[in-house]
Structure 1
């Protein structure tokens, strides 16, 4: 676990206050460059029939390297000052969290929808999703934003906080490497089906527990915010497992049930239409205000996890000191 009880809440507070400043170099950029370089080397040096075995190298080098580098930096700083190391750890953990960025991106789409500027709303959505957005209706733009915020409550917030709680900045940074790998090579297409299989599988494993914790917290958030908590719980039980991802269905179904809307349906990717399993029941059309409602649940869940995690650290610390 993190060395000092205050590291986790300080890291979260830094993200909420600052987000990801564009002027500050971000570790994910370095991870992306490393992944691209290693992939290029594998394709140059390894024959295609060995890609499946070579696919193990990507998580081994990138995830292991991210963990080792972060651990080494903090160890060196601790030789100078334990306080300096703790502050650096909080700053590093903050780079693995994207609660503010996720909220801001969703609200940008919402703002354009409220202003009736559909072209701008479609462009803003296109910055945060992979689907084609040029011809989407207002409910479909709202759906895209709600789905993205809901799904990324796990990837961008709860999972990095979960691993920071377990193993501090080194483990949180290792998780961010796992997630970055999945976003770059974890595709089931001809190009990555062999080279990216291990990265995709590792991402599924890493998010397994956080996704289910997030669903429970979203149900609690729905109750606290006076949304439909019973509907959230019912949709998680009914729909979560039918999502093509073993993890994404949990936050999406919880949000769908809490808001009383239906997520999923047809999406177009580079002109190719695919169907995403429905989450929730369609009691009404999605609207712009569903985006900030999802954002409120995002912040409630994030706040709750940080408070509970900090209390756990304090309790365990007291227990060890008492023994």
Structure 2
């Protein structure tokens, strides 16, 4: 009965994503988590910032995990159907499939039509760098890098923790990733407050980022090249995790990706162009579909999730 509930919740969450996309901000659990983080960040003390940051991170992560455990449990006593729908909704909020594909496709259409300003206006949804002076090729690189990197933190990692710890694991991971995206910086304001958030995110993504490399290699037409580029260039990016899936993605597609002044992935491969974006979207979709099949198999044939 529990396995059936978990399976149905997972598949329904995937269906919610594919059919409805992202919830409106007002109804998005990740936005709620972000609102709490923003409030706590604004009220950080002027002293003991690192200690405060540790407590803030632990509080947000534990709160998300507890909510992921308690809410379905309480609702199940009222109505199993309501509990299933809410569980699926909360689980869907921890990962994103269709939004990534849609925004990447929209940017591709803008670039193909020569609407560079429109493409630049959409790119901040995928990357945090300054895109005001990027040409078509570098904007295409942004999109493809994001399709590789976001496969980990937007798809693989939350599902990875769901299959081990159930909804509490997925919710806790989403809180971890949101903390890192909001306060895990090295600027003056967040160097101490965001230290714990950044370190916890590094730990949480360490295994998923490397498992994703293997999946990318297996599902690409060039597994040896994909692994080779990941091993050679994965450490070029500042993050201890993001460089590996991006490099594996570059190797799988046979493309050179670059963030000017920071890193190059796939040196010696073909510079990426606008026409390479559709293939990158297709590979990301293939990886997501394969991951869904793997998760279903794990739920069916193992004692996971633990919660």
1:292, distance to aligned residue in structure 2 (A):
1.9
Q: CA deviation at 1:23?
A: 7.0
Deviation at 1:81, TM superposition (A): 2.7
**Structure 1 Cα separation of the partners of residues 171 and 120 of structure 2:** 32
Report the CA distance shift for 1:35/1:198 in structure 2 as closer, same or farther (over 3 A).
same
Given the alignment, which residue of 8, 16, 31 partners 1:6?
8
2:21 equivalent in structure 1: 19
* Aligned counterparts, 1:134-283, within 5 A: 134-223=132-221, 228-266=222-260, 275-283=261-269
Gaps of 5+ in 1: 267-274, 319-323
* Count of equivalent residues: 302
Deviant stretches of 4+, over 4 Å = none
- Whether the aligned pair in 2 keeps the contact of 1:12 and 1:94 (CA below 8 Å) is yes
| Conserved? CA contact 2:25–2:31, under 8 Å | no
Distance 2:122 2:28 in 1: 22
| Alignment partners' CA distance in 1, 2:124 and 2:49 | 32
C-alpha distance in structure 2 between counterparts of 1:230 and 1:13, whole Å: 33
Provide the rounded CA distance (Å) in 2 between the counterparts of 1:283 and 1:210. 26
Aligned-CA RMSD value? 1.9
Secondary structure (helix, strand or coil) at the match of 2:258 reads strand
1:100-141 Cα shifts (integer Å, max 9, x gaps) = 111111111101111122221222223432212122111011
TM-score (norm 1): 0.88
> Residue 271 of structure 1 corresponds to which residue in structure 2?
none
Whether contact under 8 Å (2:138, 2:258) holds in the other structure is no
CA contact (8 A) 2:149 2:242 kept: yes
Using the alignment, how far apart are the partners of 2:34 and 2:300 within structure 1? 36
Q: Distance in 1 between matches of 2:121 and 2:292?
A: 33
Alignment of 1:305-320 (within 5 A): 305-316=291-302
Matched, 1:303 2:289: yes
Cα distance, 1:24 vs. partner? 6.0
* CA drift at 1:40: 2.4
Q: How much does 1:317 deviate?
A: 5.4
2:31 matches 1:29: yes
CA distance in 1, matches of 2:25, 2:224: 44
CA contact (8 A) 1:260 1:281 kept: no
Give the match for residue 321 of structure 1: none
Distance in structure 1 (CA, Å) of the matches to 2:302 and 2:200: 29
Pairwise CA distance, 1:279: 1.1
Return the offset for 1:191.
Answer: 1.1
Does the CA contact (< 8 Å) of 2:213 and 2:230 recur in 1?
Answer: yes
Residue of structure 2 aligned with 1:52, choices 50, 53, 66: 50
